[in-house]
Amino acid sequence: MTDPIHFNNNRFYLGDDPDTAPAYLDIVPAGNRAVRATHTFVSDSLRGQGVAKRLLTALVEEARRSDWRIIADCSYVADAFAKAPDLYEDVRL
């Protein structure tokens, strides 16, 4: 799966329309330079293809560019942060 990940209206998503995306990761602002990763969804047809990881990577890259810190309210993001703390040390809050 090499389709690009887009970012619009607090959503990282795969596909053309954020409202009907088959995979997405939602964030909400959480104060000064912080965002909450609230939900990750990947449709059944895309599971097992690394799509959730690509969504998280897009979020982390944007956080680094924008000097954000990420609060992992979403279980997928929290698990990823726990499994590789050194990889996300600079962006997790």
- 84: amino acid identity, one letter: A
Q: Are residues 53 and 33 in contact, defined by beta-carbon separation less than 8 angstroms?
A: no
pLDDT in tens, the chain (93 residues): 578 999 998 999 999 999 999 999 999 999 999 999 999 999 999 999 999 999 999 999 999 999 999 999 999 999 999 999 999 999 999
The reported pTM is 0.94
Domain-wise residue ranges, the chain = 5-87
Q: What CATH number has the domain spanning 5-87?
A: 3.40.630.30
